[in-house]
Structure 1
Amino acid sequence: MKGKEWYQADDVAEEYDSKRFSRGGRLIDDREKRAVVEAIGPVEGKDVLEIACGTGRFTAMLAERGANIVGLDISNAMLAQGRAKARRAGVADHIEFLRGDAARLPFPDDHFDAVFAMRFFHLAETPAKFMAEMARVSKHLVFFDTFNRRSTRVVYNWLLPMGSHLYSASQVERLLDDAGLRLVNGEHDFLLPYGFYRKIPNGIAREFRDIDTSLGETAIGDALASVSYWTATVGDGKT
């Protein structure tokens, strides 16, 4: 089972957080949340859209920080998990969850202050369409991550059930340019792939993470990082 079919399965949604963000996966969760917060900045009173919101890890976090947030996903099972998480966090009244297609977003132009997508583009069948839609509905900021072609992810990718798409930096730059977006910042991380961290206890994972981070700060880090976080702004004069 690959792609959309795998992602929308009920059992995948039910086990998604526990399989990916327990044990050493907590380090991944922390890093991804920090990346989102740093990219978007203060969100109180801002209108924010999350594409492929999944189980609502980021929607709930940003709602707690005062955002007016919409979480869109193609999977009803994932959305159910997101709604439950929002209720537990006490922010259900501040999030609107919608089922929809990221290639045809049901919003007018310039509708959101920021639009972001995490863990999305590796499954994207038509990345140019998705990027164009994110740019269309954003007044200013677009943020997303990619799994990288020149990394240990290449080996790990063979084992994945969904057939992840890996990107080079030049591919990302072309996607941004074609969508009328201007790259502001790119951060590169995790020389060791996510799957490695998920397999080991958190305490041991922290030791490897310290080594990983140290190597990531060298010249080899950017070249071989398995994950990149990209921040872009709309480049046609919108503010």
Structure 2
Amino acid sequence: MKGQEWYQADDIAQEYDDKRFSKGGRLIDQREKRAVLDAVGPVEDRDVLEIACGTGRFTTMLAERGADVVGLDISGPMLQQGRERARDAGVADHLEFMRGDAGRLPFPDDSFDTIVAMRFFHLADQPASFLSEMRRVSREQVFFDTFNRYTTRSLYTWALPMGSRLYSKAEVNRLLDSADLELAGAEHDFALPYGLYRQTPNRLASLIRDLDTAVVRSPLGKYLASVSYWNTQVP
């Protein structure tokens, strides 16, 4: 994985949410959560594994809605933040956080209904092997996002301390074929880069978001969108 040392640092874990999901970044958080819920559908009583769960944004959200959730991450400090979030939300008894490697998932085949992997594949140095592991432990569904090549994402990815892997649609299709997954649906969003939102006050960010959404919904939107959400099914 790229940037493991950066990602696992104590100060990164403590500041992660504030730096990315405050100010206009809250709009990113809202959109990502909606993408997960739209894809997974009713989550009550579903067995869900979140890969690279980080500070538990999605893990806690799914547990609050009745899912049985396991959150796995390579970073101990990130997992600690996730446990604190779960306790604050009152769902600590309904989910489990584990430290582990997404390349060697410590679960038998077909252990979960759904696998969720958000903000993961841009760090993956072996995406095909990671996706195959997710397919192995999933009974029904694998949901993940990617940052897209030939978009505004490429303009600032060089500045990220961990680097960032970008994907074309053709590359995603090859990954799905190699993992024996079928594409059930895809959504594409954010023509403007995430960094712009994070630096923008709330009210102005909402206006920018309206413009961004209009661009993405235009005939050229799918070519300009820097983020894609992929809903895949196990055949």
TM-score by length of 2: 0.98
Distance in 1 of aligned mates of 2:76 and 2:192 = 32
1:212 shift after superposition: 0.5
Percent identity between the two aligned chains:
68
* Corresponding residue of 1:106: 106
Where in structure 2 are there 5+ consecutive unaligned residues?
none
* Corresponding residue of 2:145: 145
1:158 shift after superposition: 1.6
1:84 shift after superposition: 0.2
**SS in structure 2 of the partner of residue 115 of structure 1:** strand
1:82-121 equivalences under 5 Å are 82-121=82-121
Distance in 1 of aligned mates of 2:156 and 2:196 = 9
* Corresponding residue of 1:208: 208
Q: Supply the AA of the counterpart residue of 1:116.
A: V
1:220 shift after superposition: 1.5
Distance in 2 of aligned mates of 1:71 and 1:151 = 31
Distance in 1 of aligned mates of 2:136 and 2:116 = 12
Distance in 1 of aligned mates of 2:46 and 2:144 = 18
* Corresponding residue of 2:21: 21
Q: Supply the AA of the counterpart residue of 2:96.
A: E
1:1-239 equivalences under 5 Å are 3-235=3-235
Q: Supply the AA of the counterpart residue of 1:211.
A: L
Distance in 2 of aligned mates of 1:126 and 1:28 = 26
1:35 shift after superposition: 0.3
Count of matched residue pairs: 234
**SS in structure 1 of the partner of residue 159 of structure 2:** coil
Q: Cα RMSD (Å) of the superposition?
A: 0.7
Q: Supply the AA of the counterpart residue of 1:157.
A: T
Distance in 2 of aligned mates of 1:4 and 1:39 = 29
> What are the superposed Cα offsets for residues 141-185 of structure 1, whole Å, 9 maximum, x if unpaired?
100000000110001112111110000000001001100000111
Distance in 1 of aligned mates of 2:193 and 2:9 = 24
Distance in 1 of aligned mates of 2:122 and 2:203 = 29
Distance in 2 of aligned mates of 1:161 and 1:221 = 29
Distance in 1 of aligned mates of 2:68 and 2:181 = 23
